[in-house]
Amino acid sequence: MWYLFYSMVKEGYYFGIPPLVAGVLLYFLHWTPAAAIFFLLGVFCFSFFRDPERVIPADPGAVVSPADGRVMVVTDELRAGRPGKRISIFLAVWNVHVNRSPVAGTITALDYQPGKFLAAMRAAASAENEQNIFTIATNEGPANRGEIVCKQIAGYVARRVVAWKKAGDTVARGERIGLVRFGSRADVWLPADSRVVVKLGDHVAGGSSILAFLPVQSMGLSDHHAAPARAETNLMTAGLPKT
């Protein structure tokens, strides 16, 4: 348990220490069942706000997952009249909730959208729920001077989306960009010519699992065929099952 003190965000202390203190006081008052409940609540908070280090893939054009969780949507989607693809990831309460940038680039816009708190698994949550919308201009190569969109989406349980970056900031692939509290959803919108390498039901790890590849001019034929294999290996080495 003490490992969590060295690998969690500061919110873990704010939410975890009070129930632990309450548990200790209740224990000395001989209210053992109540003390156990508060102690477990504190441990849960420490676990929820954990922030493990991740190995960031160096593959050209790779788009990494912005969050831990399960792929629940892979679909074609228009955005501002542009054809593209959306990948949605559902975060359960036991997943890591620190969010990471899917690509390297510059945040050209960061928009907060107030909204509903529908269950994160509902299709309408992507458009109607409270969310932070990151628009990132990629710098992966000459062919990738476009933009992708990453959303932190609140859910029925998660009632707070927290951005740690602002418009104009430069981010590295897999860099920490924010946090969503307690159970939520993350969406990534990509240009239509991106090549998605995950499927429905895949479990992914934020910052280390590859979701897709943006087109990179320098990618040769051998790289083109090798990329899906590397992505599958990456899913497994993230320490999570593929399905």
- 8 A C-beta contact, residue 131 and residue 116: no
Of 65, 88, 101, 184, which one is the catalytic site residue?
184
| Nearest CA among 66, 91, 67, 87 for reference residue 76 | 87
184 is catalytic: yes
Q: Report the catalytic residues.
A: 184
